[in-house]
């Protein structure tokens, strides 16, 4: 076995002993906060991961005398960390007993997270939201748990028949030190539309927002500093109950986890090269293309992988009926520019109604551009007439397109450099998202940290 570098030790959770609050008050085991934490099953847990986030060891520690109490569970609680002192020493003692770790433990202090060079990848964080109910039941109040693997039946509807949807959002640190989300109610509403389409129990908007904000708060130390990335938020609604007939699972699970991320396309605001997929389509009329079903994404993986191997960042999908009209770019919406006019396909049922898309349309109009949502945007029109193109999404933000390859033809926009109009739109959107510009449409959603 090669040398193991333990990158991180996290001790998280709570004890039954009590906590110190801002008021200097020591909450005993009967305090509502501690009771709530017990009910949620938070204990003292340790997780050891190596450099590639592979779990080396995890377990429970039972005899701590301090607690890390999330303000979301108890508004007056001081957020204690396990940076030093008896708690960490005890963790070290226990971990040295774990065979895989013994003699190779390098403790990195909690709080010392390296946010440099973040990519769009998963890092385990502190807490997640998880609640399971019988299909059609009411979602219960509380469900914050440590980030961890979940247990699921091999017969779960989500695993067998893809009865599942997800959402994607970001929490950003603004230059002023606020933590903000962008139009999260729209994600909640889109998840409701998806739940209806996929036979899942809808999560009410307020419940969704409460879960998201609690998870963001509980993981606030993972939110990258302004300019270094975002805390990507991944709500998931899955048919978790066992079923072999093709029908809605008897039980649904709603989860929210988060991870710090950098740019979706390498290089941030640099122009990307795309290729039109000649043989695959993303969605067909009457299918599930307009909802965020996980099953929409697996068929895009090999086309995207092949495109990457050929030097492209992603694939452009055309319509499934005539293979003539642009629909989307992998996991982002498509726009092209001709002079002062911006063109994008209308939401006709096969395209995901992107929240960034809707925002960019509004921002462009506010800036005086004409934006036309066409029933159809022919790829030939793009190849012949467009002076610029870009794609939009939560992960992709606004990504300028440097070139499009369609069959034997490669169309290069602005010498492969970022188009000035695309830069203006990018700057306008990100300025609103980080409270650097007036939020005239009320899109920014501050999270009290
Ligand atoms: N289209 C697809 C297929 C997506 O997966 C996404 C990502 O969420 C988008 C478009 C952009 O949507 P939004 O701007 O809401 O993130
Ligand atoms: C997002 O932009 O949030 C997405 O969901 C894209 C994702 C598939 C990476």
DSSP conformation class of 394: T
Residue 17 Cα to ligand 2 middle (Å): 41
Residue 150's CB is within 10 A of a number of other CB atoms, namely 14
94 lines ligand 2 (CB under 6 A): no
Q: For 268-326, write each residue's pLDDT tens digit.
A: 689 999 999 999 999 999 999 999 999 999 999 999 999 999 999 999 999 999 999 99
Predicted local distance difference test score (pLDDT) of residue 404: 98
Quickly state the pLDDT bin for 372 (edges 50, 70, 90).
Answer: very high
Q: What spacing in Å lies between the alpha carbon of 382 and ligand 1's midpoint?
A: 21
Joined tokens for residue 169? 């959002």
300 close to ligand 2 (CB < 6 Angstrom): no
Residue burial 217-251, b: 16+ Cβ < 10 Å; e: rest: bbbbebbbebeebbbbbbbbbbbbbbbeeeebbeb
Q: Closest-lying ligand to the alpha carbon of 188?
A: 1
Rg (CA), the chain: 24
| Cα–Cα nearest to 153, from 225, 239, 274 | 239
Structure token digits, residue 381: 């029109």
User: What does DSSP assign to residue 21?
Assistant: B
Say how many Å lie between the CA of residue 297 and the centre of ligand 2.
10
Q: What is the DSSP string of 64-77?
A: -S-----TTT-TTB
Mutational pocket test of ligand 1: of 120, 164, 168, the residue with most ligand atoms within 8 Å of the beta carbon: 168
Ligand nearest to the CA of 121: 2
Residues with Cβ within 8 Å of residue 159, at least 6 apart in sequence:
152, 153
Separation of alpha carbons 301 and 289, rounded Å: 15
Burial of 313 (0-12, 13-18, 19+ CB in 10 A): buried
17 neighbors 67 (Cβ within 8 angstroms): yes
392 vs 342: CA distance, rounded Å = 13
- CA–centroid distance, 168 to ligand 2, in Å, is 5
**24/405 Cα distance (integer angstroms):** 65
User: Hey, what are 69's tokens?
Assistant: 């109490």
Contacts of 402 (CB under 8 A, 6+ apart): 270, 271, 272, 273, 412, 413, 414, 416, 417
Closest atom of ligand 2 to 167 CA is 5
User: What's the Cα-to-Cα distance from 362 to each of 170, 189, 327, 332, 420, rounded to whole Å?
Assistant: 20, 19, 20, 17, 18
User: Which residue of 212, 301, 328, 394 sits with most ligand 2 atoms within 8 Å of its CB, as the best mutation to test the pocket?
Assistant: 394
Name the nearest CA neighbour of 170 among 188, 186, 185, 184.
184
Q: What is the mean pLDDT of residues 214-243?
A: 95
If you measure from the C-alpha of residue 331 to the centroid of ligand 1, how many angstroms do you get, rounded to a whole number?
5
CA of 236, nearest ligand number: 2
CA gap 62, 410 in Å, rounded: 62
pLDDT score for 102:
60
For residue 252, give both structure tokens.
Answer: 């649904």
pLDDT of residue 103: 56
Give distance in angstroms: CA of 389 to centre of ligand 2: 19
Instruction: Determine what percent of the chain falls in helix, strand and coil, rounding each to the nearest 5.
Output: 25, 30, 45
For residues 199-217, give the mean pLDDT: 97
Of residues 227, 267, 259, 261, the one with CA closest to residue 430:
227
**Torsion angles phi and psi, residue 94, rounded to 5:** -65, -45
| Residue 331 Cβ < 6 Å to ligand 2 | yes
C-beta of 333 in contact with ligand 2 (< 6 A): no
Give dist(CA 198, CA 352) in Å, integer.
15
Among the bound ligands, name the one nearest to the CA of residue 232. 2
Tens-digit pLDDT profile for residues 155-197 = 999 999 999 999 999 999 999 999 999 999 999 999 999 999 9
8 Å CB contact between 224 and 249 = no
**Exposed, middle or buried by CB within 10 Å (0-12, 13-18, 19+), for 321?**
exposed
Using most ligand atoms within 8 A of CB, pick from 287, 292, 295, 354 the residue to mutate for ligand 1.
Answer: 354
Q: Which residues pair with 170 in a beta bridge?
A: 232
- C-alpha 386/C-alpha 292 separation (Å) is 29
Strands (E), 149-240: 164-166, 169-173, 179-182, 230-239
Closest Cα to atom 6, ligand 2: which residue? 331
| pTM, full prediction | 0.79
Ligand 1 atom nearest to CA at 356: 14
Q: How confident is the model at residue 445 (pLDDT cuts 50, 70, 90)?
A: very high
Centroid of ligand 1 to alpha carbon of 399 (angstroms): 13
Distance CA 49, CA 321 (A): 47
Angstrom distance (rounded) from CA 191 to CA 151: 23
Q: For the chain, what percent of residues have pLDDT higher than 90?
A: 67
Atom of ligand 2 nearest to the CA of 395: 2
Q: What is the pLDDT of residues 233-272, one digit of tens each?
A: 999 999 999 999 999 999 999 999 999 999 888 766 899 9
Q: Is the CB of 287 under 6 A from ligand 2?
A: no
Residue 432 pLDDT greater than 90, yes or no: yes
Nearest protein CA to atom 4 of ligand 1, as residue: 331
Give distance in angstroms: CA of 66 to centre of ligand 1: 42
Q: Which residues are catalytic?
A: 292
Ligand nearest to the CA of 292: 1
Got the DSSP string for 261-322?
A: E--SSTTSSS-EEEEE-SS--S--TTSSTTTTBGGGTHHHHHHHHHHHHTT-SEEEEEPTTT
Q: State which of 331, 356, 397 you would mutate to test the pocket of ligand 2, scoring each by most atoms of that ligand within 8 A of its C-beta.
A: 331
Quote the mean pLDDT of the chain: 82
CB distance 171 to 223 below 8 Å: yes
Pocket of ligand 1 (CB under 6 A): 168, 328, 331-333, 352, 354-357, 392-394
Q: Which tokens in the block code for residue 161?
A: 């028949």
Report the distance separating Cα 11 and Cα 58, nearest Å.
10
């Amino acid at each position: 076995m090669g040398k193991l570098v333990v990158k991180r030790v996290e001790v998280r959770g709570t004890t039954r002993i009590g906590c110190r609050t801002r008021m200097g008050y020591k909450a005993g085991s009967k305090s509502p906060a501690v009771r709530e934490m017990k009910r949620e099953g938070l204990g003292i847990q340790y997780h050891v991961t190596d450099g590639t986030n592979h779990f080396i060891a995890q377990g429970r520690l039972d005899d701590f005398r301090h607690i890390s109490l999330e303000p979301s569970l108890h508004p007056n609680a001081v957020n204690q960390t396990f940076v030093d002192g008896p708690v960490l020493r005890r963790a070290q003692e226990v971990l040295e007993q774990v065979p895989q770790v013994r003699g190779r433990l390098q403790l990195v202090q909690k709080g010392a997270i390296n946010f440099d060079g973040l990519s769009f990848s998963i890092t385990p964080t502190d807490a997640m939201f998880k609640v399971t109910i019988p299909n059609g039941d009411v979602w219960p109040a509380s469900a914050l748990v440590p980030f961890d693997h979940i247990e699921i039946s091999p017969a779960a509807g989500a695993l067998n028949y893809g009865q599942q949807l997800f959402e994607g959002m970001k929490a950003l640190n603004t230059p002023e030190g606020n933590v903000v989300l962008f139009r999260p109610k729209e994600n909640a509403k889109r998840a409701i539309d998806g739940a209806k389409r996929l036979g899942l129990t809808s999560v009410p908007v307020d419940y969704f927002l409460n879960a998201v904000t609690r998870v963001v708060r509980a993981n606030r130390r993972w939110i990258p500093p302004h300019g270094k990335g975002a805390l990507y938020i991944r709500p998931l609604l899955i048919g978790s109950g066992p079923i072999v007939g093709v029908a809605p699972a008897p039980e649904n699970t709603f989860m929210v986890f988060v991870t710090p991320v950098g740019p979706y396309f390498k290089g941030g605001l640099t122009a990307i090269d795309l290729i039109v997929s000649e043989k695959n389509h993303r969605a067909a009329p009457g299918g599930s293309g307009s909802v965020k079903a996980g099953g929409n994404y697996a068929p895009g993986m090999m086309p995207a992988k092949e495109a990457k191997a050929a030097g492209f960042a992603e694939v452009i999908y055309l319509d499934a009926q005539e293979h003539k009209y642009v629909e989307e770019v992998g996991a982002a919406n498509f726009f092209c520019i001709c002079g002062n006019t911006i063109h994008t396909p209308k939401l006709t049922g096969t395209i995901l109604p992107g929240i960034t898309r809707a925002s960019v349309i509004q921002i462009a109009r506010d800036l005086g551009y004409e934006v036309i949502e066409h029933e159809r945007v022919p790829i030939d029109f793009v190849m012949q007439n467009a002076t610029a193109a870009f794609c939009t999404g939560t992960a992709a933000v606004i990504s300028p397109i440097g070139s499009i390859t369609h069959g034997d033809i490669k169309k290069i926009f602005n010498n492969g450099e970022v188009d000035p109009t695309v830069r203006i739109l990018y700057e306008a959107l990100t300025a609103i998202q980080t409270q650097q510009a007036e939020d005239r449409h009320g899109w920014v959603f501050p999270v009290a940290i």
